[in-house]
Amino acid sequence: MAFINEPWFTNGVARPKTITDERLLSAAMALIGRRGPEFTIADVAAEAGVSVGTVAKRFGSKNGLIQEVSRVTTRVAVARMRAAAAAEPDPVDGLRAALITLFGELADPEVAANSLAQLGVDLVDPALRALLVEHYRAVEDELRALVERADLPGAPGPALAARVLAGLINGISMDWSIRPRGALADRIAEDVDAVLVNWRRS
């Protein structure tokens, strides 16, 4: 799953129903960053400062908790992309900013690697894999809308362009988590610019 450093970014994102939910989801995200999938419901409870029963009552299981983390991550990712794009007057710069913001604040290679380890678990679980499909579809749909607004005469059609860009940034984040060289934000910007500079040309 995509790791979000600011899980409670609220521009267009519905906040969890209670403060307890927020604490539990934030605790789970922090543990994924530190330990990958090797955490327990008890660890989440300790991190959030609540009882194990509180976590179990709200989410039922570790799997249920991770499912909710995935849903929140998707909502936050789309909201952050929209906010980053809206802050730029030029649509191409907005597209670029939306791409960079997805992983651009992830600065710790260990956190990135642990998030990648959790992704591996998600891929083999049917419910979590279905949520990953929703996440990638939501990100790709947002990119398609941004491509449609941008002036990129050298780009392929919006659907293919969105797929290419989504694959690019996902591949960058995976490669950097394994072979971190420099800052991830700089790597994303460099690779995205290499594509967009050619797409701007007719």
pLDDT tens, position by position, 34-77: 999 999 999 999 999 998 999 999 999 999 999 999 999 999 99
Question: Which residue bears the tokens 């922090």?
Answer: 30
What rounded mean pLDDT belongs to the chain?
A: 88
Q: How far apart are CA 42 and CA 62, in angstroms?
A: 10
Give domain status of residue 65, yes or no: yes
Report how far apart, in Å, the C-alpha atoms of 55 and of each of 1, 87, 185 are.
21, 37, 34
Which pLDDT belongs to residue 106? 77
The mean pLDDT of 14-20, rounded to a whole number, is 52
Task: Identify the band that residue 201 occupies on the pLDDT scale cut at 50, 70 and 90.
Answer: confident
Q: What is the domain extent for residue 169?
A: 19-199
Q: How far apart are CA 87 and CA 91, in angstroms?
A: 10
Give domain status of residue 182, yes or no: yes
Contact 135, 166 (CB under 8 A): no
Contact 58, 70 (CB under 8 A): no
* Three-state DSSP state, 14: coil
Tell me the CATH number at 177: 1.10.357.10
Task: Identify the band that residue 86 occupies on the pLDDT scale cut at 50, 70 and 90.
Answer: very high
Give domain status of residue 11, yes or no: no
Give domain status of residue 50, yes or no: yes
Give domain status of residue 71, yes or no: yes
Give domain status of residue 93, yes or no: yes
Give domain status of residue 5, yes or no: no
Counted domains in the chain: 1
64-89 core/surface letters (b: 16 or more CB in 10 A; e: else): ebbbbbbebbbbbbbbbbbbbbeeee
